């Protein structure tokens, strides 16, 4: 009887681990599917291009700000 009880406990423990692992796998796959769907939707709607354009614009604005700051520093140095 004790052997049966012990075997049953071990089986339940293994089943819990398996269920937990399956849940993690499902969550990971669900996340990947959502990311893929979002990527496809972005391409269809043109949102991906808008995002790329926004990145380029942000980089240009950032570079201009750095150049302006450098220009101000140089101008101050000349005044002295």
**Are residues 50 and 61 part of one domain?**
yes
Query: What average pLDDT does this structure show over 49-57?
Result: 92
**Are residues 40 and 15 part of one domain?**
yes
More confident residue, 80 or 64: 64
Number of domain units in the chain:
2
**Are residues 40 and 30 part of one domain?**
yes
Structure tokens that stand for 24 in this block:
């993690």
- pLDDT computed for residue 30 by the predictor: 94
CA pair distance 55, 49, nearest whole angstrom: 10
**Are residues 21 and 38 part of one domain?**
yes
CA pair distance 32, 42, nearest whole angstrom: 15
How high does pLDDT run on average in the chain?
Answer: 89
Domain that holds residue 52: 46-80
Confidence of residue 1 (pLDDT cuts 50, 70, 90): confident
Structure tokens that stand for 27 in this block:
């969550």
CA pair distance 62, 41, nearest whole angstrom: 29
CA angle 55, 43, 39 (to 5 degrees): 85
**Are residues 21 and 1 part of one domain?**
yes
For the question of whether the overall pTM of this predicted structure is more than 0.75, the answer is: no
**Are residues 11 and 38 part of one domain?**
yes
Residue 80 has pLDDT above 70, yes or no: no
């Amino acid at each position: 009887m004790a052997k049966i009880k012990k075997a049953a406990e071990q089986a339940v423990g293994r089943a819990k681990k398996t269920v937990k692992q399956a849940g993690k796998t499902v969550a990971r796959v669900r996340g990947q599917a959502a990311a893929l769907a979002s990527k496809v939707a972005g391409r269809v709607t043109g949102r991906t291009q808008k995002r790329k354009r926004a990145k380029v614009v942000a980089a240009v604005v950032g570079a201009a700000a750095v150049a302006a700051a450098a220009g101000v520093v140089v101008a101050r140095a000349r005044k002295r």
